[in-house]
Amino acid sequence: MEILRSLGIRGGIYRLIRYRMGAGRPGVQRRDSMSEGLQTCYRYLNETGRSFAAIIQTLDGELRDAVCICYVIIRALDTVEDDMTISLETKIPVLRNFHTFLYDPEWRFTESKDKCKRLLEDFPTISREFRNLATVYQEVIADTCRKIGAGLAKFLEKKIESLEDWDEYGHYASGLVEIVFSHLFSASKLEDTIVSQDTRLSSSMGLLLQKTNIIRDYLEDQLVGREFWPKEVWSKYAMKLSDFSDPENIVPAAQCLNELITNALQHVPGSFTFLSQHKNQSVFNFFAVPFVMAIATLGACYNNQQVFKGVVKIRRDQVMTLMKDATNLQATKAIVLQYVEEIHHKIPPSDPSSCETQQVILSIRKLCVSSESSASRHLYSGIYISRAMLLAAVGCLYLYAAWKV
């Protein structure tokens, strides 16, 4: 593996090879040194985190365990909010007091019917591993759970009416998650303190991810009675948000969809600035991969009627390519540029938000174009180096064959 690094094959490709070979997976590499409870937390991470789990498991040192436990805890908190079978009378106090349960060895919740209910039923295992973390990690995670729980409880009693509400909800649901991760990275000393100081930027990244999920999950949320699209936008196109699932309303539904995607794309510049602050390779990948996956998802959803009929997902091979390529800021900008250009080509001329979408894309293009040129120079340079290495190798084989003769 040192040969790969010395040849400049860093970040994505190297880590992808590690995934294939099992490195970075606690069950393969660190099982003997892990407690049974910590192994359980990683199992829950792999069951609920999907591709995100692989990114967490490439983090360096003790930070990996702290982020794993943090993710599983927030996932359990999120499960309480998501489960529509739990009454508000039960749900709201649980959300508001969730941070205190981290210090209660006996607390568990057995009333959930959600697919992630095991996280709540086995919460004593998770909370025990939380209490085994360094105090600095515990304080950051507990304080964030307090804020998230209070925010989510607020929006159980309040509908998302305006775009300001949409931003506020997104801050509680995902912005604070990006902030807590930034604080953990700073606390670990893998990143400078500046990473955790400008919470506006980390929240911007979180808003982009959360809005992407909300946009993509329209039908899933409708089927269980959840509504997260802001009324300020959808009311311009329908009497009720559920009207978009009617095939007769597919044109206004797509127009509303496009306006929301345009709003989400406005968080891209702040996300670029946020990514530029991270110097540690594993931490950069941690944030960059979900970011480009969100952009790819927005590209797939834009003006796509399938959002109202089923699930729109990016292909698995596409996910692997994004994980492989998003290893530095220049490459990440090149990826984003590719998808926003795809959106640009799909803008319907008659779309009410077409002008705004074009303006947002133009601003993103300006941020990316110089980086794209730089990335292209690096790419061509790499091609020439590879050709030179190939010629050198062929030459060596020729000389060896001649010597054998």
The active-site residue, picked from 25, 64, 75, 216, is 216
15 is catalytic: no
Residue 136 has φ and ψ, to the nearest 5°, of -60, -35
18: Cα within 13 Å, side-chain hemisphere: 24
Are the C-beta atoms of 283 and 191 separated by less than 8 Å?
Answer: yes
* Closest CA relative to residue 234, chosen from 342, 352, 349, 339: 352
* DSSP secondary structure of 185-215: HHHTTSS-THHHH-HHHHHHHHHHHHHHHHH
Q: Which two tokens stand for residue 317?
A: 């091979």
Q: How far apart are CA 256 and CA 216, in angstroms?
A: 13
CB burial string 315-327: b at 16+ within 10 A, e below: eeeebebbbbbbb
How far apart, in Å, are the Cα atoms of 78 and each of 49, 64, 195, 263, 353? Answer: 13, 21, 25, 24, 32
**Distance between CA atoms of residues 175 and 145, nearest Å:** 12
226 is an active site residue: yes
Q: Return the H-helix or E-strand segment holding 327.
A: none
Confirm if 317 and 332 have CB atoms less than 8 A apart: no
Tell me if residue 237 is catalytic.
no
Catalytic residue, candidates 71, 185, 228, 286: 286
Q: What is the DSSP letter of 387?
A: H
Q: H or E element: which one contains 160?
A: none
From 101, 109, 169, 181, the catalytic residue: 169
Cα separation, 146 vs 152, in Å, equals 10
Determine whether 43 is an active site residue: no
Single-letter amino acid, residue 83: D
Q: Tokens at residue 385, please?
A: 């180096």
Q: Could you give the 3-state DSSP secondary structure of residue 132? A: coil
Measured CA to CA, the distance from residue 80 to residue 90 in angstroms comes to 10
Q: In this structure, which amino acid lies at residue 16?
A: L
Contact 122, 40 (CB under 8 A): yes
Residue type, position 283, single letter: V
Of 18, 43, 108, 226, which is the active-site residue? 226
**Residues assigned a catalytic role:** 169, 216, 226, 286
